[in-house]
């Protein structure tokens, strides 16, 4: 709301779209066959990303010239991020109909991140239930200026860093807060599953790291595990930040937020170059995933087209550019409740919403 109590026109336009979706079942526009998993297709994606990660790590171990490690760190990060995208399907039950198989593949896929599968799954589902709800979302929720001002100097450094130059640390912080803390989760069943996942990650991770040390020595942990781990978080943070952060995309409180708006209106789908889209398993086609998380990644392009036909003008889609990402890091820092729930920068200047085609 503005100081005069009026609703900004950009917010009113958004709320009008939100009201038009009330009472609708968004999944009714999606053919049932889009929900059918093909395990062989999911496994091919798992093997592709696993191969990119493993080959990159082997290259790091075999090549003595460290400057040549830099592109291999990026490809290792891309392979590990692709594995995370496979675990993403496992977490939503869209990889296969077998829950045990999903847990197994998802747990293995997250080993390069040392991320316990159920810890990630439960906190990610909280994000799905409350996307861009300023009170309840768990992902990249911006602080209002008054709360930012009350942070310690270290808290301000972490928050400001992960919104700008250290954006790659956003998902590391996410991992530290919830990955190995069963008490973070409200239900006893969640805590049991998280403990199981922690045990699995510690055991398999110890084998993974122990093998690396046995083959190449303790020194290899830094270039062949830790640097790729950081690179995975770079891909992880950049992708998730861009999904739900935009100049014209508000974070709303529970009075204005609606479930259907959270599913359809609060995500930006980015058009990646085809090789990147293949290696990231359509993670950039994100709106249909929020509408129907049970759709496997390889059916998301068709689901996106179906939603466009059923709900014209509702899908936010733009071409991925580094300039678009830079705009987020440069401007989108704090929550501006006085101007419709959009953003302001660290200098407390409202960020004018920019229309996205």
270-303 pLDDT, tens digit per residue, is 999 999 999 999 999 999 999 999 999 999 999 9
Per-residue pLDDT at 6 exceeds 80? no
What is the rounded distance in angstroms from the CA atom of residue 250 to the CA atom of residue 329? 16
Q: What pLDDT score was predicted for residue 18?
A: 94
Q: In the prediction, which pLDDT does 351 show?
A: 87
Tokens standing for residue 31: 């053919």
Strands 316-319 and 268-271: parallel
Taking the C-alpha atoms of residue 63 and residue 68, their distance in angstroms, rounded to an integer, is 7
Q: How confident is the model at residue 9 (pLDDT cuts 50, 70, 90)?
A: confident
**Confidence class for position 5, pLDDT limits 50, 70, 90:** low
Tokens 């909280």, located at residue = 126
Task: In the chain, count H helices and then E strands.
Answer: 16, 4
Distance CA 63, CA 11 (A): 54
227-244 vs 170-178: helix crossing angle, rounded to 10: 100
Q: How many of the other CB atoms lie within 10 Å of CB of 76? A: 30
pLDDT tens per residue, range 67-79: 999 999 999 999 9
Q: Which two tokens stand for residue 123?
A: 């906190």
pLDDT number for residue 163: 97
Q: Is the pLDDT of residue 113 over 80?
A: yes
The pLDDT of residue 356 is: 52
Confidence of residue 1 (pLDDT cuts 50, 70, 90): low
Mean pLDDT of the 132-139 span: 94
Q: List, for residues 173-208, the tens digit of each pLDDT value.
A: 999 999 999 999 999 999 999 999 999 999 999 999
Tokens of 22: 């009330």
pLDDT at 103 over 50: yes
Check if the beta carbon of residue 280 is closer than 8 Å to that of residue 171.
no
Share of the chain above pLDDT 90, in %: 93
Examine the pLDDT at 357 and tell me if it is beyond 50: no
For tokens 């990650």, the residue is 201
Query: Is 70 exceeded by the pLDDT of residue 170?
Result: yes
What pLDDT does 353 receive? 75
């Amino acid at each position: 709301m503005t100081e005069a109590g009026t609703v900004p026109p950009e917010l009113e336009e958004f709320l009008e779209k939100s009201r038009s979706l009330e009472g609708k079942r968004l999944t009714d526009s999606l053919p049932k066959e889009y929900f059918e998993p093909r395990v062989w297709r999911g496994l091919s994606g798992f093997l592709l990303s696993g191969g990119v990660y493993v080959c990159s790590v082997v290259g790091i171990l075999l090549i003595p010239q460290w400057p040549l490690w830099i592109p291999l760190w990026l490809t290792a990060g891309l392979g590990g991020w692709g594995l995370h995208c496979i675990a993403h399907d496992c977490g939503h039950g869209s990889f296969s109909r077998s829950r045990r198989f999903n847990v197994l593949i998802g747990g293995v896929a997250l080993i390069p991140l040392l991320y316990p599968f159920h810890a990630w799954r439960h906190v990610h589902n909280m994000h799905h239930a409350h996307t861009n709800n300023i009170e309840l979302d768990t992902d990249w929720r911006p602080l209002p200026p008054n709360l930012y001002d009350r942070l310690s100097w270290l808290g301000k450094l972490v928050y400001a860093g992960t919104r700008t130059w250290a954006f790659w640390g956003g998902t590391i912080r996410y991992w530290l807060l919830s990955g190995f803390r069963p008490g973070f989760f409200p239900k006893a069943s969640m805590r049991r599953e998280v403990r199981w996942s922690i045990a699995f990650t510690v055991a398999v991770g110890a084998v993974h790291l122990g093998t690396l040390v046995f083959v190449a020595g303790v020194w290899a942990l830094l270039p062949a595990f830790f640097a790729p781990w950081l690179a995975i978080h770079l891909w992880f943070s950049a992708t998730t930040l861009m999904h739900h952060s935009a100049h014209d995309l508000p974070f709303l409180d529970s009075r204005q937020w609606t479930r259907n708006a959270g599913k359809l209106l609060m995500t930006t789908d980015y058009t990646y170059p085809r090789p990147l889209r293949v290696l990231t398993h359509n993670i950039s086609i994100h709106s249909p995933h929020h509408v129907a998380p049970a759709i496997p990644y390889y059916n998301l392009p068709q689901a996106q087209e179906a939603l466009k036909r059923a709900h014209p003008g509702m899908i936010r889609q733009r071409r991925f550019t580094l300039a678009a990402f830079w705009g987020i890091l440069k401007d989108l820092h704090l929550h501006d409740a006085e101007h419709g729930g959009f953003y302001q920068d660290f200098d407390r200047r409202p960020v004018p919403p920019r229309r996205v085609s």
